C-alpha cells in the first residue's frame, strides 16, 4: 500500500471513531459493527447465518458494515490498515465495534455480539465508548467495498460517489420509498446476496451513483426522479472496476527486473546468429525473425501468467489468508534475490534456480540450430519459453500471486504491461542489429561481459522489493 492511501484509510477510521454518537438527531440506539469475513473461511460460515441473517431480524438495533475479502480485493487494504491501527490481526472472522470492543473467531462473535446487543437494548448508556450508531455513520465516506446491512435492507457499494445523508436515510427511514422520491436513481434487478450459510433475496433494487440499495416492502413509484437516470454500473455489485493503482509499482518493478535477465537475450542472440549465418545479406529477415521470436515469448508468457493467476484463485482458502500470502511472496522474492546475488559473485555456473538447467541445454541448442526463417523463429520462441521458465519464473510468480487478489479481467491489463516490459530488451536488440547501430557479435560480447552485473542488479532489486513486501510496506 502506498503511503498516501494508507494515511487516507487511517484518517477515515480515526474520523469515524471520533464522530459523536448522534449526528442527525436523537440516537436510535443502533450499533454499527464492522464485519471482516471471507467466503473461503469455514469459521466465517458459522457466523454468517447469524450476523447476516437472523440477528438482523431479532436485533433491530444491529447495523453490519460487511467487508468480504474473497470477492472484493479492495477490502484487503482496509483489513491491513485496521490491523496496523488496532492490532486486530490478519485473520477472519472478526467484528470491530470500537478500539476496546473487538470480537474475534466464530466462538467470540457468536457469544459476544448478542450479549452486547441485548445489553444495549436494555440500557442505551451501555454503548461502548467510541462506537457508532447508524445516525453517525456516513456510508459514502467508507473505504473499500462494503455491504451495509440493517434489517431487511442493504446498501452495496459498486464504485465511488454517493450522498451520505441519502444513503443513511435509506437504511434508517421507515419509508425508503419516500426517501427515493427526493433522490436520483434508476431501477435495477435485485441481486441475491449469498455467502456460505446465507442467501438474502430482496424485492426491490435501485442504483444511486456508486451504490445499489435493495429492500423489501413498499416499492418506489416511477423510474428515476426528474427524468435524470444514473447509468447502471459496468461492474457487478461489490467489485472494483480495476485493481487499486498501488499495485502498478510492484508489477513494473518486477517486470523490469525480469527484463534484464540474461537468459532471454542469450537465446534471441543465438536465433539471430542462426538467421544471419544462413542469409547474411537479408537484414529484413533478421528483423522479422527477431520480432517473431519476441512476439512468441510475449504471447506465451502472457498465457502462462493468466494460468498462474487462475491457479492462485482456484484455492478459495487463500482468500482469508491473502495478507499472509502476499508477505509469503515477499519472502520468496527475498530468497530469489539472494540466489541471483550469489550467482553474480560465483565463479561456478549459475544454479538451476536462476538459469536454464544444464540437462536442457543440449536439446535447446539442437532446436535453435534449426532456425532459418521468421516462422521458425516464432515456433522456436513458443517452444523455448518452457526452457526459459526456470530462469525467469521467480518474479513472474510473485507478480501473479499479487494479481490473484483481483478479478481476472482486472489482472489482464497488468499482465500485458508486465510482458511488454519483459520483452523490451529483446525488441531493442532486434532493432539495434537491423538498423546497423550495433553488430550482433558486439551485442553477444556485451551480454557475456555483463551477465554477472545483470544478475547482481536483478538480485538486489528483487531482494529490496521482497523485503518491502514482506514487511507490508508495499
pLDDT in tens, 67-77: 988 777 678 77
Spatial distance between the Cα atoms of 253 and 274, rounded to a whole number of angstroms: 33
Question: H or E segment at 67?
Answer: strand 62-68
Q: 396 with 338: CB under 8 angstroms?
A: no
What is the pLDDT, as a whole number, of residue 241?
33
CATH classification (class only), 3-215: alpha beta
Question: H or E segment at 157?
Answer: strand 153-157
What is the pLDDT, as a whole number, of residue 159?
85
The answer to which of 183-192, 220-229, 457-466 has the lowest mean pLDDT is 220-229
Question: Nine-digit cell at 360?
Answer: 536442457
Given a cut of 70, is residue 248 above it in pLDDT?
yes
Helix (H, G, I), strand (E, B) or coil at 121: helix
What is the pLDDT, as a whole number, of residue 249?
76
User: For residue 224, what pLDDT band results from cuts at 50, 70 and 90?
Assistant: low
Residue 257's alpha-carbon distances to 30, 235, 450, in angstroms, are 52, 33, 15
Is 397 or 193 the better-scoring residue by pLDDT?
Answer: 193
Count of CB atoms situated within 10 Å of the CB of 26: 8
Spatial distance between the Cα atoms of 418 and 412, rounded to a whole number of angstroms: 10
Beta strands 31-37 and 62-68, pairing class: parallel
Spatial distance between the Cα atoms of 35 and 53, rounded to a whole number of angstroms: 13
pLDDT, mean over the chain: 74
Given a cut of 80, is residue 332 above it in pLDDT?
no
Spatial distance between the Cα atoms of 214 and 148, rounded to a whole number of angstroms: 11
| Neighbour-count burial of 145, counting CB atoms closer than 10 A to its CB (0-12 exposed, 13-18 middle, 19+ buried) | buried
Q: Give, to the nearest 10 degrees, the angle between helix 3-18 and helix 75-86.
A: 70
The residues of the chain that CATH labels 3.40.30.10 are 3-215
| Neighbour-count burial of 129, counting CB atoms closer than 10 A to its CB (0-12 exposed, 13-18 middle, 19+ buried) | exposed
What is the pLDDT, as a whole number, of residue 277?
57
Amino acid at each position: 500500500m502506498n503511503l498516501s492511501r494508507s494515511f487516507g484509510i487511517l484518517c477515515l477510521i480515526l474520523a469515524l471513531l471520533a464522530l459523536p454518537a448522534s449526528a442527525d438527531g436523537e440516537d436510535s440506539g443502533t450499533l454499527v459493527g464492522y464485519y471482516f469475513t471471507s467466503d473461503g473461511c469455514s469459521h466465517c460460515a458459522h457466523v454468517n447465518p447469524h450476523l447476516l441473517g437472523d440477528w438482523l431480524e431479532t436485533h433491530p438495533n444491529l447495523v453490519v458494515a460487511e467487508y468480504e475479502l474473497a470477492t472484493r480485493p479492495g477490502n484487503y487494504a482496509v483489513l491491513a490498515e485496521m490491523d496496523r491501527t488496532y492490532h486486530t490481526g490478519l485473520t477472519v472472522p472478526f467484528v470491530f465495534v470500537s478500539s476496546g470492543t473487538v470480537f474475534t473467531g466464530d466462538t467470540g462473535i457468536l457469544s459476544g455480539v448478542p450479549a452486547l446487543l441485548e445489553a444495549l437494548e436494555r440500557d442505551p448508556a451501555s454503548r461502548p465508548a467510541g462506537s457508532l450508531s447508524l445516525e453517525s455513520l456516513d456510508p459514502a465516506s467508507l473505504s473499500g467495498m462494503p455491504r451495509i446491512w440493517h434489517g431487511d435492507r442493504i446498501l452495496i457499494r459498486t464504485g465511488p460517489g454517493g450522498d451520505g445523508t441519502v444513503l443513511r436515510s435509506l437504511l434508517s427511514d421507515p419509508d425508503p420509498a419516500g426517501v427515493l422520491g427526493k433522490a436520483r436513481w434508476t431501477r435495477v434487478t435485485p441481486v441475491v446476496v449469498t455467502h456460505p450459510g446465507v442467501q438474502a433475496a430482496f424485492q426491490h433494487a435501485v442504483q444511486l451513483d456508486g451504490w445499489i440499495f435493495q429492500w423489501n416492502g413498499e416499492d418506489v413509484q416511477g423510474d428515476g426522479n426528474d427524468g435524470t437516470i444514473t447509468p447502471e454500473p459496468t461492474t457487478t455489485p461489490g467489485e472494483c472496476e480495476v485493481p487499486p493503482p498501488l499495485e502498478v509499482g510492484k508489477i513494473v518493478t518486477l517486470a523490469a527486473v525480469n527484463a534484464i535477465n540474461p537468459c532471454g537475450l542469450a537465446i534471441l542472440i543465438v536465433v539471430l546468429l542462426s538467421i544471419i549465418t544462413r542469409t547474411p545479406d537479408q537484414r529484413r529477415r533478421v528483423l522479422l525473425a527477431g520480432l517473431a521470436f519476441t512476439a512468441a515469448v510475449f504471447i506465451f508468457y502472457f498465457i502462462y501468467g493468466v494460468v498462474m493467476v487462475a491457479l492462485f484463485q482456484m484455492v478459495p482458502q487463500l482468500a482469508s489468508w491473502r495478507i499472509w500470502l502476499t508477505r509469503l511472496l515477499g519472502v520468496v522474492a527475498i530468497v530469489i534475490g539472494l540466489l541471483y546475488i550469489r550467482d553474480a559473485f560465483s565463479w561456478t555456473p549459475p544454479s538451476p534456480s536462476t538459469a536454464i538447467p544444464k540437462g536442457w541445454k543440449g536439446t535447446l541448442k539442437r532446436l535453435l540450430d534449426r532456425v532459418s526463417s521468421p516462422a521458425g523463429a516464432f515456433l522456436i520462441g513458443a517452444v523455448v519459453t518452457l526452457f526459459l521458465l526456470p530462469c525467469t519464473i521467480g518474479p513472474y510468480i510473485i507478480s501473479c500471486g499479487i494479481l490473484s487478489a483481483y478479478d481476472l479481467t482486472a489482472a489482464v491489463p497488468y499482465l500485458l504491461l508486465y510482458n511488454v516490459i519483459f520483452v523490451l530488451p529483446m525488441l531493442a536488440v532486434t532493432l539495434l542489429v537491423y538498423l546497423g547501430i550495433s553488430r550482433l557479435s558486439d551485442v553477444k560480447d556485451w551480454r557475456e561481459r555483463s551477465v554477472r552485473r545483470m544478475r547482481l542488479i536483478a538480485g538486489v532489486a528483487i531482494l529490496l522489493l521482497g523485503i518491502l513486501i514482506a514487511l507490508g510496506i508495499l
